[in-house]
Amino acid sequence: MVIVATHGPMDVTVGICAYNEAQNIERSIRSIYSQNTHDVVVKEVIVVSSGSTDGTDDIVRGLQKEHGNIVLIRQEKREGKNSAINAYLDAKSCGIVVMLNADNVLGTEDSLWHLVKPFEDERMGMVGGHPVPTNGKDDKVGFAVNMLWTMHHNLAMIYPKIGELVAFRDIGTRLTVEQQSDEDIIRMSLERAGYKCAYAPDAIVLNRGPETEEDFLKQRIRVNIGECTMKSKYDYDIPTWNRKYLFKAAFGTMHDLGFHPFKMLYTIRLESRARKEAMRHVAEGKHDMNIWDPVGTTKRLRGRGRRPWTPRAPPSRGLRGPSS
């Protein structure tokens, strides 16, 4: 068991997995170096480029000339996200690890600090950030993306749902490369070792949701396959499948987005379809996959007229754990 001292500066590793992320990787990395880290020290940023062929590696090498603590690990062929995570976990030098997606950026100058400050408590095992999509709400798919992540936020305020931006204490867990349920496997291992998990609503991370119905379903089916696999393979419950939590989160979501019955029913229909397809997939014994095709429309992070890391934080609501 790895225990990190709570006195003095806290060293962290930031790990980024990338596959053909030339249009996003520089913004993602620069958002790390734009942080007000306070008493947190980013000791290293490790980028694992898994079979990239679009110039991702060259962009990272260029950034290494500006920042000497960037490490590039090159995988000659695409091996899947879990393999890439294992690679930077084996290479890191810190006990606290931040997982940042290559197509996301930290959303405020204090996002990283809000994410890792809870580890001053030695019992803290994992903390999740607050994903905020850059999609507009005018069209029905954009609204569905915003409704999904607003539900995620409101549910996480009840019971932590962790994803997109994650920090965790490394206790030696390494991921099976046959599936892609990365943060859920790590969380399960930490909880079973006696650690607690929390949600940091002020740790904003900006992402880009799908822009077409086809891509929305493609993404949601794969996410739900991973969650169904966690239940089937490990008997581990994911909070977004808890009807009581979902019902409570729905009220907060309507408060945040307003009441839009047709768009909301459309979103519910899409998510229900994705869950049914995922359950069928797992019931047929197919379970999760380690490598998925990219969802193309999620790779255009920059919103209309918005800088990549424009602050969108709500008023501070503090850390949230299961008993908060």
Domain annotation for the chain: domains and CATH numbers: 10-298 (3.90.550.10)
The mean pLDDT value for 194-209 works out to: 96
Residue 232: per-residue pLDDT = 87
Q: Has residue 292 got a pLDDT over 60?
A: no
* Average pLDDT over all residues of the chain: 88
Q: Is the CB of residue 129 less than 8 Å from the CB of residue 152?
A: no
Q: Where are the alpha helices (DSSP H) in 117-212?
A: 140-156, 182-192
Residue 210: per-residue pLDDT = 94
Angle, alpha carbons 294-299-302 (nearest 5°): 170
Radius of gyration of the chain (CA): 19
Quote the tokens at residue 251: 């009220």
Using a pLDDT cut of 70, give the percent of the chain over it. 86
The structure tokens 């569905």 sit at 144
Q: Has residue 238 got a pLDDT over 70?
A: yes
- Residue 12 sits at φ, ψ, to 5 deg, of -135, 150
Using a pLDDT cut of 90, give the percent of the chain over it. 73
Residue 131: per-residue pLDDT = 97
Quote the tokens at residue 295: 């969802």
Average the pLDDT over each of 78-87, 137-146, 252-261, 313-322 and give the range with the smallest value: 313-322
Full-model pTM: 0.86
Residue 315: per-residue pLDDT = 46
Average the pLDDT over each of 76-80, 114-118, 219-223, 291-295 and give the range with the smallest value: 291-295
Establish how many alpha carbons lie within 13 A of residue 278's alpha carbon, considering only the half-sphere containing its beta carbon: 25
How many angstroms separate the first and last alpha carbons of the chain? 26
The mean pLDDT value for 255-272 works out to: 97
3-class DSSP assignment, residue 96: strand
pLDDT band for position 180 (50/70/90)? low
